[in-house]
Structure 1
């Protein structure tokens, strides 16, 4: 299942690269990348011991499982403003905490962290929908994006249309 989801994601990314960048990824390379993502996910699940990073705030709560029948979608983005490159990750877990799928990758030409977080939140919802999820919980650490998603009215900021897209996708 994990491999199928990652192959589908690679197909979508390949299509976008062909349309917007003129690059073409061979089917062999596409499957190889999908397998690498599944292996990275499996390695992350098996990893135990001390974290290799220091949490931002020691008082942060630990990750909690979503309610039964619900998928949790965690997202994050990091921006290098100087070169305009963004690193993203989205992890989908079931109600038992098992990783269902994971996406990660770079984007170029984005220097606004809030825009990057909003786009990654949209990617998280798209992943949840592609996995057949109807009930899911979004979890991210970008307070401005989280607050915008909680508001009932439309967002009007530079990233507002993306927030509005996420809200529509979630309905």
Structure 2
């Protein structure tokens, strides 16, 4: 069904405080990556969606502790996760 190609898909659903879907986004990447990096790519897509929609307050949810900790920290991170999610914390005004 999927063939032998290595690819990854991430999905993002944005809901308001009542749980109503406001927007969604799907993206396919032509690489196979580990689960932590996949979660990081999904968080990046969510932030990109929030910027496009001009939302001023956003709550991200995820189940990968490494990514959540990275996104919650303003500290420099030279790991492969930090290199891919590092720009996300730059969007947080408290990190400037």
Q: Select 1:142's aligned residue among 64, 83, 89.
A: 64
Contact 2:73 2:89 in 1 (8 A): no
Aligned equivalents of 1:134, 1:95: Cα separation in 2: 14
What is the RMSD computed on CA atoms of the aligned residues?
1.7
Residues 53-132 of structure 1 mapped to structure 2, 5 A cutoff: 83-132=5-54
Q: Select 2:55's aligned residue among 130, 133, 136.
A: 133
Larger radius of gyration: 1
Cα deviation digits, residues 85-143 of structure 1 (max 9, x gap): 11211011112211000112321113222222111111101101111111111111111
Aligned equivalents of 1:142, 1:84: Cα separation in 2: 22
4+ residue stretches of structure 1 with deviation over 3 A?
A: none
CA pair 151-170 structure 1, distance change in 2 beyond 3 A: closer
**Larger RCO, structure (CA 8 Å, separation 6 or more):** 2
Aligned equivalents of 1:114, 1:83: Cα separation in 2: 20
Residues 44-55 of structure 1 mapped to structure 2, 5 A cutoff: none
Give 1:83 shift: 4.4
Q: Give 5+ residue unaligned stretches, structure 2.
A: none
Q: TM-score, normalised by structure 1?
A: 0.48
